[in-house]
Amino acid sequence: MQGKLQQVYRVSKELGQNSLFSGSFQLSQLSRLSSLVIANGAEIKLNFVFSTTAYHHPSITGHIDTELLVECQRCLEPMVHPVSLDFALLIDASDDDVKSFQMDTVYTDDGYLDLFEVIEDELILALPVISMHDDPTCNKHWQPDSVEQVVEKNNPFSVLETLKGK
């Protein structure tokens, strides 16, 4: 059975129906994520299912596809950050369950789950810490005293190498 994408679900109603939900919505509908990336009118495509059997605990599992635009930290030009990620989350799990399942949980508000918030959290977690174009020469004005060299300088192992050399 195929269900329609909506923002809020009553979890008890969806659990056990094995409905596969799929659809898409606009990046602009996620304000926290929008403030972290460059607006590009991205469409966020997803499909997911509520289940009690997949993990023997109420859960939501699914897949997200989109293309976000982030700033390259070398040339400060936009670069595409493709996202294709699977997620599997318990619903309203106790701390003990989270530990024993080794899975994260989402929490409902009185039995209602805000799906957009769940998806937004997953996408924010998947953002690169440092984004740079694959092309190391994307910034023609890049100075020799580059980030790579700073990293090298601060690397404790390179300090050891220097000591060994003495």
Answer yes or no whether residue 45 interacts with Zn ion by CB under 5 A: no
CB of 41 to Zn ion, least distance (A): 21
Nearer CB in complex with Zn ion: 5/138:
138
User: CA 139 to CA 163: how far, in whole Å?
Assistant: 34
Nearer CB in complex with Zn ion: 57/74:
74
Nearer CB in complex with Zn ion: 125/147:
147
- Of 80, 75, 73, the C-alpha closest to 38 is 80
CB of 74 to Zn ion, least distance (A): 4
| Stretch near Zn ion under the rule CB under 5 A, chosen from 46-54, 61-69, 110-118, 130-138 | 130-138
Nearer CB in complex with Zn ion: 2/137:
137
30 with 24: CB under 8 angstroms? no
65-84 footprint of Zn ion as x/- string (CB under 5 A): -------x-xx---------
Nearer CB in complex with Zn ion: 135/152:
135
Residue 37's CB: how many other CB atoms inside 10 A?
A: 20
Answer yes or no whether residue 138 interacts with Zn ion by CB under 5 A: yes
User: CA 1 to CA 146: how far, in whole Å?
Assistant: 54
Question: Which residue from 25, 103, 127, 133 is in contact with Zn ion, where contact means CB under 5 A?
Answer: 133
Residue with tokens 């004005």: 141
User: CA 57 to CA 70: how far, in whole Å?
Assistant: 36
CB of 155 to Zn ion, least distance (A): 23
Identify the helix (H) or strand (E) that includes residue 101: helix 95-101
Identify the helix (H) or strand (E) that includes residue 34: helix 31-34
Residues at the interface with Zn ion (CB under 5 A): 72, 74-75, 133, 138
